[in-house]
Structure 1
Amino acid sequence: MADEPGRGTDGSLEIGIERAHPARMYDYYLGGRTNFDPDREAAEAALAAFPTLRITAEENRGFLLRAVEHLARSGIRRFVDVGSGIPVAGRNTHDVAQAVRARARVLYVDNDPIVLAHAQALLTSGPRGRTAYLNADPRRPETIVEHPEFVRWVDSDEPVAMLLVAVLHFVADHQDPLDLLRRLTRRLPSGSRLVIAHVTGDYDPEGWAGLVRAYADAGITVRPRSRAEVAELLDGWDVEAPGVVPVSRWHPTAEPSAEPALVSCYGAVARKP
């Protein structure tokens, strides 16, 4: 999830590669190439504080894909991926959803111009499904839920899955993440699902304190939250089994899964009553 991009004198979106960006840092952790010197420098500082951060990123991505497959097999055909970040070839929400349900529809939401450029190039759907990209700020829910594209996406009684994976820890307490979630999900019909993943300092408070400082030095706010705080974000939702757990322990496909202390990220899937 990005800070709101600036605009040039011609009204075009400015890329802003002169400073680190969370999505590009995440891309660097995953071994991608869509990152620049400020991103790599900030990412290396974060890795120095928490050396297993690459494992966190990989396990987080794995959780996202497993959750999407689970929901598609459960009958969900509409997905909204908020703060979707830079695409990873063959490992995106629509790749998994449409492999299960060819007519699945996926709306990607982010507000970074680089994400937009890559989304338009890489997030192509199969012949029967559909993907779309919405340039909007996740921290300003009305820019999403009032947008005509989003309204068309959810304008029925059919359940929708909203994904906020590695997004909410960039929302500070004073920005009220619980209220933000309520505003983002208010249009979703009953039976919809919410998928979240959120970093935590529960397992290594000192390491995560250093990581928070590294991100702050790059001008990025990160707010790790405890398991209880993450569970509180799901107030009013019915959390599916196995509950709020480390992402590596959410229906893992391989055993043994990564140790929670190496990952330090909780994940959960919840149903709207």
Structure 2
Amino acid sequence: MDILSDAVAAMRVGIPHSNRTEVRAPWHREFPAQDGAGFHVVLQGSVWLTPTQGEPIRLQVGDVVFLPRELGHAIGDTPGIGIDRQATTQPGETTVLLCGAYRLDQSRAHPLLSELPDIIHLPARIGRHPALRGAIDLLGYELDTDADSGAIGPLLAVLLLYLLRAWYDDQPTGTGWGAALRDPAVHAALQAIHRDPAAPWTVKSLGIEAGLSRSVFAQRFTATVGTAPQSYLTWWRMTLAARMLRDTDALLRVIAEKSGYTSEYAFAAAFKREFGVAPGRYRNTAVPEVA
């Protein structure tokens, strides 16, 4: 069970999109803030990325930049926002970009994604992140040969996963989700929760999955993940339940069972504590995922 995949799937709504763009200097494009995430890959030339909050970043060939919460930014042949660039009779350097965007529900972001910085810059390095580079090559090929290819959506989903894996692989050991994913014991417990969230997990049984005593496991899990095992289990169950209420017509009894509750009443009470509204009210007001 891939915890990163689960975290992304819990937030994603709608259909991602991507395009391959070729421009010549001088050029400038701005992207407003939105509920989602975006990325740019420099295939040829160089780019200045200027966030609305922060310093400009120079991107070279092979560089990848990912904006997990789109706060607004500009890209161009020079740094800056609000620039009016007019074409000249002698265009300059050609730049080729692979760009894309994802719609994400930021209202209930998985903590694994919440801890990401506003901008993730993955410089091109020989031999680094081969899976990510492979996904980029495949996506670029599909966009070049058939912009309506049915493979583009799945490739964008894979690309997002590899972007996150690459960033977490580069993080130093310590606390946080990077440490949790690398800690064999904590990772085993997280996998167990994600594999079967409805199971009657206790701190003791999760500790057994982790190969640790109850007290040692609870301490290590809380230190890395940032919350106690039972708290994370409840949060994840409620996140899945909310998604089922929003995107399916499943009976409340079925959703309760899949969320680890033996009765609709117990589930409804837990859901209301988490969201402030009853499951039925939530279902009536939630916006379903756009196909």
TM-score range, shorter chain: under 0.3
TM-score (norm 2): 0.25
Give the number of the structure whose alpha-carbon radius of gyration is greater.
2
TM-score (norm 1): 0.27
Higher strand share: 2
